[in-house]
Amino acid sequence: MRKIGITTSKGGTGKTTTAINLGHGLALCGQKVLVIDCDAQRNIAVTFDVRGKKTLCDLLQNGEVEIIQVRKNLYVVDSGGRDLAETEMMLAAKKNRESRLSRALENLKGCDVVICDCSPTINLININALAYVDEVIIPVSMDYLAQEGARQTLEIIEEINQYSSNGTQVLGILPTFYDARTKLSKEVLETLRKHFADTVFQTVIRINTSLREAPSFNRTIFEYSPLSRGAFDYYQLTEELLNSEQSQAISGERRI
Ligand SMILES: Nc1ncnc2c1ncn2[C@@H]1O[C@H](COP(=O)(O)OP(=O)(O)OP(=O)(O)O)[C@@H](O)[C@H]1O
Ligand SMILES: [Mg+2]
């Protein structure tokens, strides 16, 4: 089972869009995918128009959760919205507060991929998510501040690895909101590739209006506009991810 976090400390870089469309892309390729919404905004649950009776809050507090099927092969855990703040305060007073999610999901079976969609903050919920996952995708939008967000996230992962035994790896930095018409996009992508080399995905997610519109129709990009650039880019990312799994299996080591 692959456990992937989608995280960065900057807001609005395409984390949730990536969790939803990569999740559905993998599900369409036959993988059983669970997406855990770790953000009080509940954007995943809102996109699929579902509400969990037992949410991430319950999972962290007493190990109970409702896993909601939203599509063939695709399942979701609702974050619990604003209750998540209360859960975080409750966690703060507990022992092993960083590994509550790992322990709650210890016996999870039957899934090929778990994706955690994080919020752009450094809080105990995200620390739990990062301690649970084995790999992270860091979406970086094509502006200067997003690169700073990526750098901070890499630092956080390093810090978390100091007290978590599983050693979270960076699966890749994902360039998002790429606009070929602007000089800034080209410059930022060049800088990313120069600084982070192979850690940057080959796939680049371009700006695409359909990606912005799809959630308001409760659809993923593959349902809302399957021939759009957004669908093409997320399909490419899905393939890149599946191939990275294959190469790991062949070489017996991680891509990065
Ligand atoms: N490639 C894209 N082209 C156009 N719009 C996009 C693209 N990716 C995401 N969006 C839109 O940009 C907004 C922010 O994206 P998203 O919610 O995925 O970011 P996020 O990183 O999860 O944000 P937050 O930090 O608030 O959780 C959303 O309205 C989304 O539909
Ligand atoms: Mg989000």
The answer, yes or no, to whether any atom of ligand 1 lies below 6 A from the CB of 219, is no
Q: Tell me how many domains the chain contains.
A: 1
Structure tokens that stand for 54 in this block: 């037992």
Exposure on the CB side of residue 15, measured as CA atoms within 13 A: 32
Q: What angle do CA 190, 192, 194 make, to 5 degrees?
A: 70
At residue 106, φ and ψ (nearest 5 deg) are -50, -40
Q: What is the pTM assigned to this prediction? A: 0.93
The verdict on residue 122 lying in a domain is yes
Nearest CA to ligand 1 atom 10: 212
The ligand with the least distance to the CA atom of 11 is 1
Distance of CA 47 to CAs 40, 78, 191, Å?
14, 11, 33
The answer, yes or no, to whether any atom of ligand 1 lies below 6 A from the CB of 13, is yes
Select from 8, 9, 17 the residue to mutate for testing ligand 1; criterion: most ligand atoms less than 8 Å from CB: 17
The answer, yes or no, to whether any atom of ligand 1 lies below 6 A from the CB of 61, is no
Structure tokens that stand for 204 in this block: 């680049």
The verdict on residue 89 lying in a domain is yes
The verdict on residue 41 lying in a domain is yes
The verdict on residue 29 lying in a domain is yes
The answer, yes or no, to whether any atom of ligand 1 lies below 6 A from the CB of 7, is no
The answer, yes or no, to whether any atom of ligand 1 lies below 6 A from the CB of 208, is yes
The one-digit pLDDT tens for each residue of the chain (256 residues) are 999 999 988 899 999 999 999 999 999 999 999 999 999 999 999 999 999 999 999 999 999 999 999 999 999 999 999 999 999 999 888 888 988 999 999 989 999 999 999 999 889 999 999 999 999 999 999 987 777 777 777 787 777 777 666 678 889 999 999 999 999 999 999 988 988 888 899 999 999 999 999 999 999 999 999 999 999 999 999 999 999 875 554 444 433 3
Residues near ion ligand 2 (Cβ under 5 Å): 15-16
Select from 140, 204, 212, 234 the residue to mutate for testing ligand 1; criterion: most ligand atoms less than 8 Å from CB: 212
Structure tokens that stand for 211 in this block: 């990606």
The verdict on residue 256 lying in a domain is no
Check: CB of residue 65 under 8 Å from CB of residue 56: yes
For ligand 2, the distance from its centroid to the CA atom of residue 252, given in whole angstroms, is 32
Domain that holds residue 173: 2-251
CATH number for position 193: 3.40.50.300
Using the atom order of ligand 1, give the atom closest to the CA of residue 178: 1
Nearest CA to ligand 1 atom 28: 212
The verdict on residue 234 lying in a domain is yes
Using the atom order of ligand 1, give the atom closest to the CA of residue 208: 3
